[in-house]
Chains A and B, each alone.
Chain A
Amino acid sequence: MAIKRIQAPLTESVARSLKSGDSVLLSGTVYTARDAAHKRIVEAMAAGQPLPFDPQDAVIYYVGPTPAKPGQAIGSAGPTTSYRMDAYSPALIARGQRGMIGKGKRGPAVVEAMQQYGAVYFGAIGGAGALLSKCVRSAEVIAYDDLGAEAVRKLTVEDLPLTVVIDCEGNNLYETGRQAYLAAHSK
């Protein structure tokens, strides 16, 4: 399968062109946020306070990197499990968030919001933090520094290898991939 090259921020038309199972290489600006940062962002949104970044067309990477060694842009930086962000993602998607990078299942409310507003869920390889860190050109803490590894960082990435797990129509590789494997091996 041909690998698609895409840019972040992610436009709605590009997001809608991506299909579950596609391999992509993502370049551009992504923001990191995990559990604690999501909680603060969504609380700030509800209170009408300023946000660390504009959610419109933003791609958020669920990652808490290890500290960078001297000379590195970032330490190891693989995805964390996404379902812990399920409580917060629908509100962000409603505000324009276009992409999520993580690993593991998503809840029905997230998938519904993705279908309604046009957002994509990408899988990065869990447990491949050393490999993925090589795609990060720069990293800068832009909010919630007190959260340490969980602070919000602005990353510039180049050719970050991802798989489209759930597309804007709600097709889910975790379901179809397993079914296809089992169908091919049931004979």
Chain B
Amino acid sequence: MREIQASAITAVVKRLCIEANCHLPQDMQECITRAHAEEDWPIASEILERIMENYSIADTRNVPICQDTGVACVFLEIGQDVHILGNIKDAVDEGVRQGYAEGYLRKSVVGDPLRRVNTGDNTPAMLYYNLVPGDAVRVTVAPKGFGSENMSQLKMLKPSDGVEGAKDFIVRVVEEAGPNPCPPIVVGVGIGGTFDQCALLAKKALLRSTDARNPDPYYASLEAELLARINSLGIGPQGFGGKTTALAVNIEVAPTHIAGLPVAVNINCHVTRHKSEVL
């Protein structure tokens, strides 16, 4: 059995918090560049140019792309043949604490949802564990801003609503969000599972590269159809009108109950950040 010190996880989480917030993944940059080339509406085109300029300023000056440096969503895929020495949760939170302090990132977490006092160090992380075969640990940090998180929705559809009902719901969520989540957006969709699993699928869909389609051709074509429908809404970058409302629709699915058709839509802005490292 391989042993890994919890402190090694702290160091990785710290580094990933800073890197994810200052350097946008390559696929997102390419996605925006492509969208800009295809955008024919002047104000939309202008905004996409400013957005690309912003990425480049953040990248070269090593400053956060967006002031909402998010809650730190941390996904650990832990190999079954790994023994972690020390407390994993504490190690992750320590990584977030150090990363948000040393990276000059914003502390945006309140310790209680109703009494609302800032924890001052952006902890705790939103932490997810997954046991997988092997002897490695894969750490993913995805800082999630709440302008887009607030526009997300989940609905327990009926099986009779079918694929048309699911499509209408997804498009309606994007239309209702309008300019609020900083379009152009990335749309994470979860279909199936239980109430809770469905929401997590939608969040995990946002971790997938925007140029990778669902491996199932049925869902890959659904992703393409939804993207086209969303981009015919006319909302455009920042909601000022234009073609580019969404950059990608990523769908993740899971088996579900005979009585149910849960659909979750987790919206992310054009600053869709995530970074991984394998220990």
Given known A75-B63, A125-B50, A127-B269, contact A177–B106 (CB-CB < 8 A): no
CA distance A177 to B68 in the complex (A): 26
One digit per residue, 1 when the CB lies within 8 angstroms of any chain A CB and 0 when it does not, for chain B 64-101 equals 11111100000000000000000000000000000000
Chain A contacts with B in 167-184, Cβ cutoff 8 A: 173-174, 176-182, 184
Chain B residues in 8 Å Cβ range of A150? 118
Q: Smallest distance from the beta carbon of A104 to chain B beta carbons, Å?
A: 4
* Closest residue of A by beta carbon distance from B240: A177
The residues of A that contact B116 with a CB separation of less than 8 Å are 36
The B contact surface, by secondary structure, is: loop
Q: Are A181 and B269 in contact (CB under 8 A)?
A: no
- At the interface with chain A, which of B133-141, B153-161, B210-218, B231-239? B231-239
Smallest Cβ distance from B67 to chain A, in angstroms? 4
Question: Which of B67, B179, B240 interacts with A77 by CB under 8 Å?
Answer: B67
Q: Is the CB of A128 closer than 8 A to any CB of chain B?
A: yes
Expressed in whole angstroms, the minimum distance between the Cβ of A155 and any Cβ of chain B is 13
Q: Output the nearest chain A residue to B44 by Cβ-Cβ distance.
A: A181
Chain A residues contacting B58 (CB-CB under 8 Å) are 76, 130
Q: Chain B residues with Cβ under 8 A from A78's Cβ?
A: 66-68
B3 part of interface (Cβ distance < 8 Å): no
- Indicate whether A14 reaches chain B with its CB closer than 8 angstroms: no
A4 shortest CB reach to chain B, Å: 16
Contact with B along A43-77 (1 / 0, CB 8 A): 00000000000000000000111111100100111
Of the candidates B47, B105, B120, the one whose C-beta lies within 8 Å of that of A148 is B120
Question: Which residues from 82 to 130 on chain A have a C-beta closer than 8 Å to any C-beta of chain B?
Answer: 83, 103-105, 123, 125-130
Contact (Cβ within 8 A) A178 B239:
yes
| Minimal Cβ-Cβ distance residue in B for A128 | B54
Q: B171 to chain A: closest CB distance in Å?
A: 15
Selected from B57, B66, B120, B236, the residue in CB contact (under 8 A) with A177 is B236
Contact B104 A185 (CB under 8 A): no
A131 near B54 (CB under 8 angstroms)? yes
Which residues of chain B have C-beta atoms less than 8 A from A148's C-beta?
107, 118, 120
CA distance A180 to B150 in the complex (A): 28
Chain B residues positioned under 8 Å from A81 (CB to CB)? 147, 150, 180-181
**Chain B residues positioned under 8 Å from A75 (CB to CB):** 63-64, 67, 104, 106
The reply on A147 being an interface residue by CB < 8 A is: yes
Tell me, rounded to whole Å, the shortest Cβ–Cβ distance linking B155 to chain A. 21
Q: How far is it, in angstroms, between the C-alpha of A123 and the C-alpha of B181 when the chains are bound?
A: 13
| Contact A126–B147 (Cβ < 8 Å) | yes
| CB-nearest residue of chain A to B65 | A130
Contacts of B240 in A (CB 8 A): 123, 163, 173-174, 177
What is the CA–CA distance of A69 and B239 in the complex, to the nearest angstrom? 32
Measured between alpha carbons, how far is A93 from B104 in the docked complex, in Å?
A: 34
Contact, CB under 8 Å: A128 / B51: yes
- Report if B129 contacts A (CB, 8 A): no
B270 at the interface (CB under 8 A from A): yes
Q: How far is the CB of B4 from chain A (nearest CB, A)?
A: 31
| A126 and B63 form a contact (CB under 8 A) | no
Give the distance in Å from the alpha carbon of A123 to the alpha carbon of B46 in the complex: 14
A69 to B61, CA, bound (A): 11
- With an 8 A cutoff between CB atoms, is B260 at the interface? no
The digit string for A118-159, where 1 denotes a CB below 8 A from any CB of B, is: 000001011111110110000000000001111000000000
Partner of A103, one of B57, B107, B179, B235: B179
Per a CB cutoff under 8 Å, which of A66, A105, A184 touches B178? A105
The answer to whether B253 has its CB under 8 Å from any CB of chain A is no
B117's nearest neighbour on chain A, judged by CB, is A146
Neighbouring B residues of A149 by C-beta, 8 Å = 67, 106-108, 118
Shortest distance from the beta carbon of B235 to any chain A beta carbon, whole Å = 6
- Measured between beta carbons, the chain B residues less than 8 angstroms from A133 are 63
Q: Which residues of B contact A (CB under 8 A)?
A: 41, 43-44, 47, 50-51, 53-54, 57-58, 61, 63-69, 104-108, 116, 118, 120, 147, 150, 178-182, 233-236, 238-243, 269-271
> Can you show 25 pairs from A to B with CB atoms below 8 A apart?
A66-B67, A67-B106, A69-B63, A75-B104, A75-B106, A77-B67, A78-B66, A80-B67, A80-B147, A81-B147, A103-B182, A125-B54, A125-B238, A127-B270, A129-B67, A130-B61, A130-B64, A131-B50, A148-B107, A148-B118, A149-B67, A161-B50, A176-B241, A177-B236, A177-B241
